[in-house]
């Protein structure tokens, strides 16, 4: 109260009130009311903690909003890092503030294309985005002048790093039964992406798993993917961790927490992480390409404008990305490898695309794209409808978006 009183009286220039401490929230809003004709933004961060200290704050805001604040020139912004608490306090029917907000914004992580210019080149960006994800406090902890393995060792695999335990702290602040959620997230990170497999892995009942999965979706910690072309209610959905760092943490950090605490981070990186990290990055590379395609789509740099882009699978067949418009479709294979045989990848892609098209004949105009770090001979397949892009081409395409 002392700090808020001082900030308010200083901002509004009421020097004669500089030593006054408002006794409660009602007094604070009554003071603010005297300046309601000014166009002023009042923003409170960590709003859930203010309410936790004084639950009456919600009712006070409700009263002042209904009586004068909604018709004033003031902007009132409340923010907090806990999604569940912010929704409970501002958006749910039982909250005094229900129906009174002008709008709400979920501050999302940075996209892959948002940080492309932060790192020296596209390859370095992919490696670090795949591991650290798009949360600014995480990705900017990485030293862009060090390789990915050194950054993992120095920024994650030390017990004094905030990244070592931050995932655990976030989850504990969001859910009331973190043990079960940890088990589910760990199962998903290890490749168990359907409710039945998650249930088998965790030992939890299928109905319990389904309930917790929905909570994790609401918290934006996981996403449910359905194959391209399938309806939203398709039973073929699979679950994945939405944040790259969460996926890395549950895969490589949580299982080896004791070794990290004992100072064995470097050996852990060499023995447990390095042998499989490029495969892990390869799966995240698909998400990077999807983001880049959306960027190119917005800038009209593709042969057609698409309105959906996602992975497709059917039994043993899978296509990394399918982007579709009304009558056009783009089939894309993504390889995080060097010296890729573009012709061989294209031939396989052609076979799989015919299976997809047998269910979706509405797509008459077909385009094909093969992406890899480098190729042996990509020119063999290139035509008006078939393209092969290496990392140099990807950077060129991105810079065209920036022109």
Q: Which of 389, 325, 312 is nearest to 352 (CA)?
A: 312
Q: Are 367 and 350 in contact (CB under 8 A)?
A: no
Report the pLDDT value the prediction gives residue 88, as an integer from 0 to 100.
87
- The ranges assigned to domains in the chain are 2-90, 112-284, 299-402
Report the pLDDT value the prediction gives residue 185, as an integer from 0 to 100.
96
Mean pLDDT of 163-185: 90
Mean pLDDT of 87-102: 87
User: Within 13 Å, how many C-alpha atoms sit on residue 173's CB side?
Assistant: 15
Q: Looking at the predicted structure, is the pLDDT value of residue 84 above 90?
A: no
User: What is the C-alpha separation between 340 and 342, in angstroms, rounded?
Assistant: 6
Q: What percent of the chain has pLDDT over 70?
A: 100
Q: Which residues pair with 333 in a beta bridge?
A: 370
Report the pLDDT value the prediction gives residue 17, as an integer from 0 to 100.
82
- Per-residue pLDDT reduced to its tens digit, 111-139: 999 999 999 999 999 999 999 999 999 99
Mean pLDDT of 275-284: 97
Report the pLDDT value the prediction gives residue 381, as an integer from 0 to 100.
83
Q: Are 240 and 198 in contact (CB under 8 A)?
A: no
Mean pLDDT of 141-149: 95
Reported as a pLDDT band with limits 50, 70 and 90, residue 140 is: very high
Q: What is the mean pLDDT of the chain?
A: 93
- Per-residue pLDDT reduced to its tens digit, 1-17: 889 899 999 999 988 88
- Per-residue pLDDT reduced to its tens digit, 297-312: 999 999 999 999 999 9
Mean pLDDT of 232-256: 94
Q: Looking at the predicted structure, is the pLDDT value of residue 232 above 90?
A: no
Reported as a pLDDT band with limits 50, 70 and 90, residue 94 is: confident
User: What is the rounded radius of gyration, in angstroms, for the C-alpha atoms of the chain?
Assistant: 25
Q: Looking at the predicted structure, is the pLDDT value of residue 379 above 80?
A: no
Question: According to the 3-state scheme, what is the secondary structure of the chain?
Answer: CHHHHHHHHHHCCCHHHCCCCCCCHHHHHHHHHCCCCCCCEEEECCHHHHHHHCCCHHHHHHHHHHHCHHHCCCEEEECCCCHHHHHHHHCCCCCCCCCCCCCCCCCCCCCHHHCCCCCCCHHHHHHHHHHHCCCHHHHCCCCCCCCHHHHHHHHCCCCCCHHHHHHHHHHHHHCCCHHHHHHHHHHHHCCCCCHHHHHHHHCCCHHHHHHHHHHHHHCCCEEEECCCCCCCCCCCCEEEECCHHHHHHHHHHHHHHHHHHCCCHHHHHHHHHHHHHHHHHHHHHHHHHHHHHHHHHHCCCCCCCCCEEEEEEECCEEEEEEEECCCEEEEEEEECCCCECHHHHHHHHHHHHHHHHHHCCCCCEEEEEEEECCECCHHHCCCCCEEEECHHHHHHHHHHHHC
Q: Looking at the predicted structure, is the pLDDT value of residue 206 above 90?
A: yes
CATH number of 299-402: 3.40.1350, 1.20.1250, 1.10.4100, 3.30.1380? 3.40.1350
- Per-residue pLDDT reduced to its tens digit, 36-71: 988 999 999 999 889 988 999 999 999 999 999 999
Q: Looking at the predicted structure, is the pLDDT value of residue 87 above 90?
A: no
User: What dotted CATH number matches 112-284?
Assistant: 1.10.10.10
Report the pLDDT value the prediction gives residue 93, as an integer from 0 to 100.
82
Q: What percent of the chain has pLDDT over 90?
A: 81
Q: Looking at the predicted structure, is the pLDDT value of residue 345 above 90?
A: yes
Report the pLDDT value the prediction gives residue 92, as an integer from 0 to 100.
84
Report the pLDDT value the prediction gives residue 277, as an integer from 0 to 100.
97
Report the pLDDT value the prediction gives residue 85, as an integer from 0 to 100.
86
Report the pLDDT value the prediction gives residue 132, as an integer from 0 to 100.
98
Q: Looking at the predicted structure, is the pLDDT value of residue 28 above 90?
A: yes
Higher local confidence (pLDDT), 291 or 83? 291
Report the pLDDT value the prediction gives residue 344, as an integer from 0 to 100.
94
Q: Are 324 and 332 in contact (CB under 8 A)?
A: no
Reported as a pLDDT band with limits 50, 70 and 90, residue 296 is: very high
Higher local confidence (pLDDT), 378 or 399? 399
Mean pLDDT of 357-370: 95
Q: What are the structure tokens assigned to 12, written together?
A: 């509004």
């Amino acid at each position: 109260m002392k700090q808020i009183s001082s900030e308010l009286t200083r901002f509004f220039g009421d020097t004669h009130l500089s030593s006054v401490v408002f006794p409660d929230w009602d007094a604070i809003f009554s003071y603010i009311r005297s300046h309601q004709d000014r166009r002023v933004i009042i923003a409170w961060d960590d709003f859930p903690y203010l309410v936790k200290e004084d639950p009456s704050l919600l009712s006070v805001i409700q009263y002042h909003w209904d009586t004068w604040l909604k018709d004033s020139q003031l902007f009132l912004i409340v923010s907090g890092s806990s999604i569940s608490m912010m929704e409970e306090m501002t958006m749910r029917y039982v909250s005094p503030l229900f129906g009174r907000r002008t709008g709400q914004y979920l501050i999302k992580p940075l996209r892959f294309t948002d940080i492309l210019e932060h790192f020296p080149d596209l390859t370095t960006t992919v490696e670090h985005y795949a591991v650290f994800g798009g949360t600014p406090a995480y990705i900017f902890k990485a030293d862009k002048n060090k390789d990915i393995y050194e950054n993992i060792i120095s920024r994650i695999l030390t017990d004094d790093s905030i990244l070592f335990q931050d995932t655990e702290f976030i989850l504990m602040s969001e859910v009331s039964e973190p043990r079960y959620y940890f088990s589910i997230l760990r199962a998903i990170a290890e490749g168990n992406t359907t409710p039945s497999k998650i249930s088998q892995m965790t030992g939890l009942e299928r109905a319990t798993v389904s309930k917790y999965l929905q909570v994790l979706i609401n918290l934006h910690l996981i996403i449910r993917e359905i194959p391209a072309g399938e309806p939203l209610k398709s039973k073929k959905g699979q679950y994945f961790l939405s944040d790259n760092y969460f996926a890395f943490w549950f895969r490589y950090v949580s299982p080896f927490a004791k070794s990290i605490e004992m100072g064995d981070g470097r050996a852990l990186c060499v023995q447990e992480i390095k042998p499989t990290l490029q495969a892990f990055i390869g799966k995240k590379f698909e998400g990077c390409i999807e983001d880049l395609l959306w960027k190119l789509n917005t800038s009209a740099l593709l042969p057609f404008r698409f309105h959906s882009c996602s992975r497709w699978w059917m039994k043993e067949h899978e296509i990394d990305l399918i982007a579709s418009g009304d009558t056009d479709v783009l089939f894309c294979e993504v390889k995080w490898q060097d010296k890729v045989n573009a012709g061989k990848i294209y031939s396989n892609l052609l076979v799989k695309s015919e299976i997809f098209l047998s269910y979706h004949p509405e797509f008459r105009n077909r385009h094909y794209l093969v992406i890899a770090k480098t190729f042996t001979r990509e020119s063999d397949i290139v035509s008006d409808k078939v393209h092969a892009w290496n990392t140099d081409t990807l950077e060129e395409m991105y810079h065209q978006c920036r022109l």
